[in-house]
């Protein structure tokens, strides 16, 4: 999981800006997550699949809703969805009231991948707590939550969204 943590402050020559550190930390986390998912049999998950998993976790949505939630064009969302359908993570279903409209829902395979991802998240945080301490890990979580809340409060477009980078 967490491979190493710097135990001393970086020297000014190799110090990173705060945003760079956030980006590097996210990249390291995501690489470990994809490695764990690959070992669990999900070696074909695309970079944007997790965002769609979360969008469809509670209820099916149409392509327009997926695209809007991801902040991307319908053709861009369609490319991701088609890949997810081909890999048996998403299925297209008839709309209950409008036969012209297709709904997108998660397959059992996608739900199994989500459970594996959630387990990884919990293990990662627990390992971080073992390495740097429970209080420090809780403080890091509070810091990240505060960043998100502040961004939501400053945004004129509503809450920030999970979306492909």
pLDDT digits (tens, 9 = 90+) for 25-83: 999 999 999 999 999 999 999 988 999 999 999 999 999 999 998 888 999 999 999 99
Distance from C-alpha of 25 to C-alpha of 45, rounded to nearest angstrom: 20
What is the distance between the alpha carbons of residues 55 and 78, in angstroms, rounded to a whole number? 14
pLDDT of residue 154: 84
CA 12 to chain centre: 32
Residue 84: closest CA among 110, 55, 111? 110
The span from the CA of 90 to the CA of 28, in Å, is 27
Residue 122 has pLDDT above 60, yes or no: yes
Domains in the chain: ranges and CATH:
18-154 (1.10.10.10)
Q: Which of 153, 147, 107, 160 is nearest to 23 (CA)?
A: 147
Q: What is the mean pLDDT of residues 19-26?
A: 91
* Contact between residue 105 and residue 91 where contact means Cβ atoms under 8 Å apart: yes
pLDDT band at 163 (very low <50, low <70, confident <90, very high): low
- Give the Cα separation of 104 and 95 in Å (integer): 9
pLDDT given for residue 159 in this prediction:
62
Do residues 84 and 63 make contact, with C-beta atoms less than 8 angstroms apart? no
- For residue 92, which phi and psi values (nearest 5 degrees)? -95, 135
For residue 134, give the DSSP letter: H
């Amino acid at each position: 999981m967490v491979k190493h943590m710097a135990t001393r402050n970086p020297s000014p020559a190799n110090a990173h800006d705060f945003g760079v550190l956030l980006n590097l930390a996210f990249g390291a986390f995501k690489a470990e997550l994809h490695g764990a998912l690959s070992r669990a049999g999900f070696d074909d998950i695309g970079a944007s699949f997790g965002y769609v998993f979360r969008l469809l976790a509670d209820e099916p949505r149409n392509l327009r809703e997926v695209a809007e939630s991801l902040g991307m064009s319908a053709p861009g969302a369609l490319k991701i969805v088609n890949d997810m359908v081909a890999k048996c993570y998403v299925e297209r279903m008839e709309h209950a009231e409008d036969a012209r409209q297709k709904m997108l829902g998660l397959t059992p395979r996608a739900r199994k991948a989500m459970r594996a991802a959630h387990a990884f998240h919990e293990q990662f945080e627990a390992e971080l707590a073992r390495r740097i301490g429970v209080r420090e890990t809780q403080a890091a979580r509070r810091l990240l939550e505060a960043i998100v809340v502040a961004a939501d409060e400053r945004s004129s477009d509503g809450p920030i969204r999970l979306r492909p980078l």
